[in-house]
Structure 1
Amino acid sequence: MNIYHFAYNFFTFGLSLIVLPAIWCHERKDPERKLALTQRLGYDLRPLDPVGSGRPLVWIHAVSVGEVKAAEAIVDAMKVSGIKAAILLTTTTMTGQRDACRRFAGRATVRYAPVDLWGATRRFLWVYRPDLLVCMETEIWPNWIANAHGAGIKTVFVNGRISDRSSHSYMKIRRLMKPVLERVDAFSMISEADARRIISLGAPAHRVQVNGNAKMDAPDLYRSEVGIQTLRQFYAVEENTPVFIAGSIRGAEADILMTVYERLATQIPELVFILAPRHLSRSSRIADIARAKGVEWQYRTQLGEPGVARSAPVVILDTIGELRDVYSIASVVFCGASLVPLGGQNVLEAAVWAKPVLFGPSMEDFEEARTLLETAGGGICVKDGMDLAERALHLLMHPGEARRLGRLAKRAVLSNQGAARRHARVVAELLPDIESRAL
């Protein structure tokens, strides 16, 4: 342990002594939150489920729902390729934990990940003793990696992604990051840009490879036509009803988009406008804006009540995990966190449904996806709210053009599938005593 790692542990331990008592007093009142915190501190670590016993144990960490979906695609690719391993899947968020329990029921052990404290990490590794640690995307936790390395456990970053903003933040602590990254056995990154950034932080270049985005291979990537029709009925829209969906909106975008809606509605009175905040706590803020402007609105959760159908032109999506499917009924999609300087969101989730995708100029966290769609002609960057309204109005009033752009967007996604298999190959190469490496 070098001086920087020692300082990191000194700081995090001291901070935990201050913060954890208050968190414990709050979380212990809720059984689910209490279990999550207990497991994250390295206690109440229940035995492995009897799934794949006798095989090498792969600990896969997926922060939340998006990473869990990518992890499922990679685990499925491992199975199809004959790779035999037991899976221990951890998440950080409770929504990710619920989704993981649903997706991996009967085929993996699902637990909460330990916080990156020295003691919590060592207790977790001592109880479960994995043979390989797989970090989805780029979860750089110094104590996880140091303790795994010390215990002879190999580590790999899979579906690795590191944004330009994150890279700049990590560069400020490069003297801590570089020794940590040198202990990682392999880096299976999404793009060339991600590879360059992780190397600049200290990852050995000969251990870094580019294998694409496994989220494009997610097993629930496509809804059946029956499923789409069910969604249309739920939201009371016909196949030719103009539907504009603004997904993962953040900050001042709520005000901007409500103004965009007012402009669109004057030209398209039958328009259905669905807004999905990135954080549910912002739902009430959107409702306040709509109320102040005299716009009729409903929460998505209200539509599930008996006898309540959609009647308002504006719907606020106040649920978790539904946005990707709801994109399937859109005519035009806007992906948020991009009109404000917050790095953007994943535009490919809408593109897979063959929808034209609009986004603002701030796409630093998803620049490869942006480039992919713009190059294919299925994605359009807008400068501001006025430009967004004009572009959206044109596409909504010219549905044939919107469908053409949507087909281009979907084609771009399809041309980049197969990443899960390539990432699975990297995992297989690091597993001990593997029965089959036939990839």
Structure 2
Amino acid sequence: MHIEIVTIGDELLLGFTIDTNAAHLAREFAALGVRIVRRTTCGDDADSIAGAVRDALGRTGAVITTGGLGPTADDQTKPAIGALFGRGMVLDGDILANLEQRWLKRFGHPLPTSNRQQAMVPDGATILENRHGSAPGIWLEDAQGRWVAMLPGVPREMRGMVADTLLPRLRERIAPGGPVVRARTLRTANIAESALADRLGELAGGVNGLSLAYLPGRDGVDLRLTSYSLPSMETERALNAAAVLVREKVGRFVYGEGDDDLAALMLAECGARGATIAVAESCTGGMLGMRLTAVPGSSRVVLGGTIAYANEVKIRELQVAAEDIAAHGAVSEPVARAMATGVRRRFGSSIGIGLTGLAGPGGGTPDKPVGTVWVAVDVDGDVHAVRAVLPGDRGEIRWRAAQLALDRLRRAFAQDTEGAAWTARGA
């Protein structure tokens, strides 16, 4: 089954609201073997809604809309789509009674006149119950089997209705044992998209008939394998085999799968080893500590940290040598290494991480452009350091620097000193 999604709202077109509804729908339907083949966003006016839905019906005959079911004048979804099916609008007495009871119970006063619009539905429509809000959903279908499911735009209501009502309805229309749409994501860090493609070689365009997408983000580049046409059991075997092949090619750069968070993975590894962590941060200003302490149970591993933004704080709190700062600058290998060792000793942890860099937008030089970062990891006195020049704006550089530090810890645990310019070990 192929479906198109039409999300409705001027606020989506203007960028004031992020369209999370379409992404949620695509994820939910993929497991059913339903493929979302196109996503369209249009404004609140009736002509735009009718045009977008008419085109989608012509292509697939199956459309889901979100938005435009509320009580105000800009909520035009029902009459616009009803007109496409040749249906006039009628008052649904059951919906009206439910709305009146809801208002009296929740607000203690009669239903506002404007909200009566929510009880107007296209003639002959099937009502989709909304247990999560006031606007019911609508299902319209014609004699040719073409259908439109209209859902509210409020994400909480839309998601609840998808689970309660829409997914069960669609399951009834799908033959058991048919193809499903499934994906497997491998997460990588500290390697560019083009470098991944080079490593993958003949697998770069797809693996054993499965598509391979490159999804760069601030955590790194995700590699997503997707199967569109195999039955469920075959899909899992195919994805497992393809993931093994990709891991063999990409090797040390893969740190996890799915929604794995590198901070959570490192905390779990520290817990298994009985290790503790302290962090010393300059350019990230506490972001690395935030990443770590955002994970439940992190107090068993994270002892504390120091935001050593000023040079005098690096010297006073972390025993960074003033002569090293004078000779090499605050963004340098000696300073990063001293920060890692200094914070480990200060807090009595088994691991210390030092991070210093230039997040911009100003302050860069030819030798140290904006984005230059030094990270050092001290594990029981065994110190490694790495330099990187990270892309992006100030926020992206800071986030990527914290991710780089976590990845350096992962490499230290794996005793991997070959990748990405690790410097010589120090005492």
Name the TM tier (shorter chain).
under 0.3
Kindly indicate which of the two structures has a greater share of residues assigned to strand: 2
Q: From the CA coordinates, give the structure whose radius of gyration is larger.
A: 2
Kindly indicate which of the two structures has a greater share of residues assigned to helix: 1
Q: TM-score, normalised by structure 1?
A: 0.20
Q: TM-score, normalised by structure 2?
A: 0.21
